[in-house]
């Protein structure tokens, strides 16, 4: 039913086939919509995902983009976020990368209270 996919860690599909569970390097699993998963396979985004920190205590699921040779946060790739856009997690669960849990917001610019 499914084509073999090259990955170092297991990938599972929900019974209805609409959700995919990708195992991270640390052993945790990420939930992603099937259509996004299929797009990543087609676009050659590696499925060997891992958690990467931002230096402020936040961790994000990242992957290596084989097309351009760089690291991409998977949530930003799912939402096709552009420069100046921030991805927020409705449930605050950074391992739930289904579109229903993600929202795209305006940029991270903060105003100074000092004027």
Residue 7 pLDDT? 65
3-state secondary structure of 58: coil
Range with the largest mean pLDDT of 8-17, 34-43, 90-99: 90-99
80 Rama class: left (phi>0) / alpha (psi -120 to 50) / beta: left
Model confidence pLDDT, tens digit, residues 24-67: 988 899 999 999 999 988 887 888 889 988 778 888 999 887 77
38-47, 72-81, 86-95: segment of lowest average pLDDT: 38-47
Q: pTM for the complete prediction?
A: 0.80
State how far the Cα of 5 lies from the Cα of 83, in Å rounded to an integer. 31
- Which residue is it, tokens 């299929």? 38
Measured between its terminal Cα atoms, the distance across the chain in Å is 60
Q: Please compute Rg for the chain using Cα positions.
A: 15
Q: Which two tokens stand for residue 24?
A: 């991270």
pLDDT(109) > 60: no
């Amino acid at each position: 039913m499914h084509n073999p996919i090259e990955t170092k860690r297991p990938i599972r599909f929900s019974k209805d086939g609409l959700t995919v569970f990708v195992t991270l390097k640390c052993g945790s699993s990420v939930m992603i919509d099937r259509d996004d998963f299929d797009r990543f396979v087609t676009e050659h985004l590696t499925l060997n995902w891992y958690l990467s920190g931002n230096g402020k205590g936040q961790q994000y699921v990242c992957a290596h983009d084989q097309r351009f040779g760089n690291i991409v946060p998977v949530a930003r790739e799912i939402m096709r976020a552009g420069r100046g856009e921030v991805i927020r997690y409705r449930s605050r669960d950074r391992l739930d990368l289904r579109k229903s849990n993600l929202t795209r917001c305006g940029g991270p610019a903060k105003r100074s209270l000092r004027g």
